[in-house]
A = this chain, B = another copy of it.
Amino acid sequence: MKISVMRERHPSGGRVALTPANVSALKKLGCQIFVETGAGDAASFSNDNYQEAGAEILESRAQLLEKGEIILCVDASREEALADLKACHICIGLMDPLSNCDRFSNLAKRGITTISLELVPRISRAQSMDALSSIATLAGYKAVLMAASHAPRIFPMMMTAAGTLSPSRVFIMGAGVAGLQAAATAKRLGAVVEAYDIRPAAREQILSVGAKPVELDLDTSSAEGQGGYASKQDEDFLKRQREQMSTVLAQQDVVITTAAIPGAKAPILITEEMVKGMKPGAVIVDLAAERGGNCELSKAGETVTAYGVTILGPIDIAASLPNHASQMFGRNVESLLEHLLDEEGRLTLDFEDEILDQTVITHEGEVRATRIRERLTPLIQPQEAIA
Contact surface of A with B, Cβ cutoff 8 Å: 14, 42-44, 46, 127-128, 130-131, 133-134, 137-138, 141-142, 145-146, 148-149, 151-154, 156, 158, 160-163, 165, 185, 188-190, 279-281, 308, 321-324, 327-329, 331-332, 335
Copies of this protein chain in the complex: 2
User: Contact check: which of B128, B161, B321 meets A153 at CB < 8 Å?
Assistant: B321
Q: List 25 A-B contacts (CB under 8 A).
A: A14-B152, A42-B152, A44-B280, A128-B161, A128-B163, A130-B161, A134-B160, A134-B162, A145-B145, A145-B149, A146-B149, A149-B149, A151-B321, A152-B321, A153-B323, A153-B324, A154-B321, A156-B188, A160-B328, A162-B331, A163-B327, A163-B328, A188-B188, A188-B189, A188-B190
CA distance A160 to B184 in the complex (A): 14
CB <8 Å contact, A165 and B279: no
Q: Given the known A-B contacts A152-B44, A188-B188, are A165 and B328 also in contact in the complex, defined by CB atoms under 8 Å?
A: yes
Give me the 4 closest cross-chain CB pairs, A-B, nearest first: A44-B281, A152-B323, A127-B161, A162-B331
**14 further A-B pairs in the complex, CB-CB below 8 A; given A146-B149, A151-B321, A163-B331:** A42-B152, A43-B152, A43-B281, A44-B308, A46-B280, A130-B161, A138-B154, A141-B156, A142-B149, A153-B323, A156-B188, A162-B332, A165-B324, A165-B328
CA distance A158 to B324 in the complex (A): 10
Q: Given the known A-B contacts A44-B280, A146-B149, are A133 and B154 also in contact in the complex, defined by CB atoms under 8 Å?
A: no
CA distance A335 to B163 in the complex (A): 10
CA distance A43 to B134 in the complex (A): 36
CA distance A133 to B160 in the complex (A): 9
User: Which residues of B have CB within 8 Å of A151?
Assistant: 321
CA distance A324 to B280 in the complex (A): 13
Q: Which residue of B lies closest to A181 (CB)?
A: B158
Q: Given the known A-B contacts A281-B44, A323-B153, are A160 and B137 also in contact in the complex, defined by CB atoms under 8 Å?
A: yes
CA distance A190 to B189 in the complex (A): 9
CA distance A329 to B328 in the complex (A): 44
CA distance A323 to B138 in the complex (A): 28
How near does chain B come to A168, taking the closest CB pair, in angstroms?
9
User: Which residues of B have CB within 8 Å of A134?
Assistant: 160, 162
Q: Given the known A-B contacts A44-B281, A137-B160, A149-B149, are A165 and B327 also in contact in the complex, defined by CB atoms under 8 Å?
A: yes
User: Which residues of B have CB within 8 Å of A158?
Assistant: 137
How near does chain B come to A18, taking the closest CB pair, in angstroms?
13
